[in-house]
Amino acid sequence: MLPPSVVEAVARDMVDCAASGRSLLGLPFTSREFTEILGRAETYIRQLLAIPDGYHVLFLQGGASSHFTLLPMNLLGNLRQADYVETGLWSHRAAEAARPWCEVNISARGNRSAMPLPDDWQISAQSAYCHITTNETAEGLQLHTWPEKIDVPLVADMTADLLTRPVLMERFDLVYASAQKNLGAAGLTIVIVREDLLGKSREGTPAPLDYTLQATAHSKVNTPPTIAVAVAARMLEWITRQGGLALMEELNRKKSDAIYAIIDRSGFYRCNAAPPHRSMLNVCFKLPNAELDKRFLAEATAEGLLDLGGHVDIGGIRASVYNAVPEQSVSKLVSFMTEFEARRG
């Protein structure tokens, strides 16, 4: 979801972007107006995340799934191994995407209800980096303990939770996230990378996929996803005006806590995620059987509660309460859950 004020601003940009008399749709990436939008987006991200000096912020195409594959191409250097912490579906996919390129050492494996905590990661000193996924959207799990600085570069897929809470950026060497969940529209991937991790790309890495070249060219080796960047700039401005990441965290926690509270009160809804590992963005739960899940989804849709189906590989229900989801939507869902249980439980 996007906040209505952001949707309205983007709609205006579609007609006249930055008082240029031109539509955002036709704005060249080389134009003064787009350069200004890109600069604004970067400034907001740096401020919101308190990114220390020495990090580049890249605005690239591809989506997190493409960047799974680009990580080994860009980061292995002379090494042949990388560590992966498997916490769920997305970190498993990231590890599988790396296998054609390097030896994959699984440093720790979670189960569907808990994430292995940093103290339990067995990281090999021979690895070029260690990859983690901070929020598993399919299982509804989230890492709530930031790892201490480790001996190898730490790389994180934060697709689901970048800009939903403050982050200790100095603990990470590379963070990447697709934009479509918390900062706007699909088509944009943010890559935040420490300077000293650059210069390691494999020979033959195509230029648009090479983080070192993209950092030098300020994300303009090829055309950046201009529309998604402009939407992200609006979203970042909105997050800043709302009160920043501490407030986003407070609201996201409040929204998810309201749903977990009704699940925990009832014997009807079941959440597989153990309380200390629960995601404050994706509340995943099931009803006593698949037939009731289906009925719940159909009746919720009829009430205007949309897109509540779980990930296709997991099933059940998933309420995603990303930054722009208002508290009223959560209240409506909670009332619906109470009423549905009273009728069908």
Ligand X SMILES: Cc1ncc(COP(=O)(O)O)c(C=O)c1O
Q: Among residues 83, 161, 181, 210, which one is catalytic? A: 181
Based on CB atoms, which residue is closest to ligand X, 1 or 18? Answer: 1
Residue carrying structure tokens 């107006």: 33
**What distance in Å separates the CA atoms of residue 88 and residue 209, rounded to the nearest whole number?**
26
Under 8 Å between Cβ of 189 and 64: yes
- Note if 161 is an active site residue: no
Pull the structure tokens for residue 4: 């209505």
Shortest gap between Cβ of 133 and ligand X (angstroms)? 5
Q: How far apart are CA 134 and CA 94, in angstroms?
A: 13
Q: At its nearest, how many Å lie between ligand X and the CB of residue 63? A: 3
Q: How far is the CB of 26 from ligand X (least distance, A)?
A: 25
Query: Nearer Cβ to ligand X, position 160 or 280?
Result: 160
Residues in the site for ligand X, rule: CB under 6 A?
Answer: 63-65, 90, 133, 137, 157, 159-160, 178
Catalytic residue among 13, 83, 90, 173: 90
Tell me whether residue 63 or residue 225 sits nearer to ligand X (CB atom).
63
Q: How far, in Å, CA of 176 to CA of 65, rounded? A: 10
Residue 103: phi and psi, rounded to 5, are -70, 135
**Min CB(67)–ligand X separation in Å:** 8
Q: Is residue 143 within 8 Å of 121, Cβ to Cβ?
A: no
State the amino acid at position 71 in one-letter form: L
Annotated catalytic, 181?
A: yes
Please check whether residue 144 is in contact with residue 132, taking contact to mean a CB–CB distance below 8 angstroms.
Answer: no
What would you report as the CA-atom Rg of the chain, rounded to the nearest whole angstrom?
Answer: 21
**Closer to ligand X at the Cβ: 229 or 287?**
229
Choose, from 13, 157, 161, 293, the residue flagged as catalytic: 157
Cβ distance to ligand X smaller for residue 33 or 139: 139
101 flagged as catalytic = no
Q: Which of 145, 171, 140 is nearest to 263 (CA)?
A: 140
What's 115's DSSP letter? P
Q: How far is the CB of 64 from ligand X (least distance, A)?
A: 4
**What is the end-to-end Cα distance of the chain in Å, rounded?**
31
Active site residues: 90, 157, 181
